[in-house]
A and B are shown apart, each in its own frame.
Chain A
Amino acid sequence: MTAQTAAPVPARRSWLTVAWVLMRLSAILLVPLVWVHVVIQDLLIGVHHIDLDYVAMRWASIGWRIYDAGLLCFAFAHGVNGLRQVLEDYIHGRRTRRVIRVLLFGFWLFITMLGAAAVIGGVRS
């Protein structure tokens, strides 16, 4: 009888593997990010009390800016990757899939950069 051993599985990792892992990691990160956001904005503050003074107060803290940029980045990446998965259920052509992936990545990058610039950069008084 031999002892149980771990058999090697040679690496077959591709960007699909990376996308799958990122989907899981972003989901895990989104649990605290979204819930803290919901509890503060919707329950403690309340959406009707969010005004320019409150936004200015948030913007005054670099910690909240990084937090909001992280929320935007991970939530949007999670959503866009999910959209890619759903579209690829129905679009099977290799070339069309590639075009969609490039377009979605560009869309994600543009919106994330724009949002991050607004959230981290703030507004000039």
Chain B
Amino acid sequence: MLVTLKIKRFDPERNPSSWWSSFTLEADPADRILDLLVRAKDELDGSLTFRRSCGHGICGSCAVRVNGTNKLACKTLVHDIGSKIVLEPLLGLRVEKDLVVDMDPFFASFRSIKPFLINGDPLPANGRERLQSPAERMRFDDTTKCILCAACTTACPVFWADGEYIGPAAIVAAHRFVFDSRDHGAAEHIVALAEAEGIWRCRTAFQCTTACPREIKVTKAIAEVKGAILRGEAR
């Protein structure tokens, strides 16, 4: 089938404004959007710029807006979209070139919740790992699936208007540790969430849940963290 790939371009060294490029390619319905991007760059326009790494939905590098919805280019097939494919960079983050956005603010928000296990207790006497029941592990299983692709945060209308909002991805990361029975650092994880640009800015728009390529129940996780802060315990 013939596919038209319409891509929003930006290159500050060539043009201070963005423009659109269209590429027509022969594609198989089972081709991934990432395959088309690679072919367009290799065969039609070497200046086309986008991020990619693993190509298998794990690294989170290739998140883009596909026909108005955030998706991973490596997990979206041509037959999921159709023959007219419109690609744009993620919204709310500064575009560096074509489909590449500046991820620094996103990772700064992620770092602000201290996304690592905090436990000052001595290690178990046998020198082995801190034990956890299957039920305790399941409590935060969903939020361990995050690959930091920024699809959720850049789908959030609050983040579009207010780029300082901490965003759903950081709250998901906080959930992963606050609800971990081995973690004793909830107080430190939620410091940034309690601030003016923190969790209370969430309007429960559900855009994050729709956008997540890992199908994490993001809005549910956010609600659980809100509840934990309100009740004073993560249960």
Contact = CB atoms under 8 A, between A and B. Distances in A.
Interface of A: 1-14, 16-17, 19-21, 85, 88-90, 92, 94, 97
B125 interface: no
A56 to B, nearest CB: 42
Q: Which 10 A-B pairs have the closest CB atoms?
A: A6-B235, A89-B161, A12-B194, A10-B187, A6-B233, A9-B186, A16-B200, A1-B133, A20-B200, A7-B234
Given A6-B234, A7-B234, A97 B196 contact: yes
Given A1-B131, A4-B136, A14 B164 contact: no
B154 to A, nearest CB: 15
Contacts of A10: 186-187, 232
B162 A7 contact: no
Contacts of B141: none
Q: Which of the four size classes fits the interface of chain B?
A: 35 or more
A2 B181 contact: yes
Given A4-B181, A9-B234, A88 B135 contact: no
B229 A3 contact: no
Nearest to A16: B200
Contacts of B81: none
Nearest to B130: A2
A17 B230 contact: yes
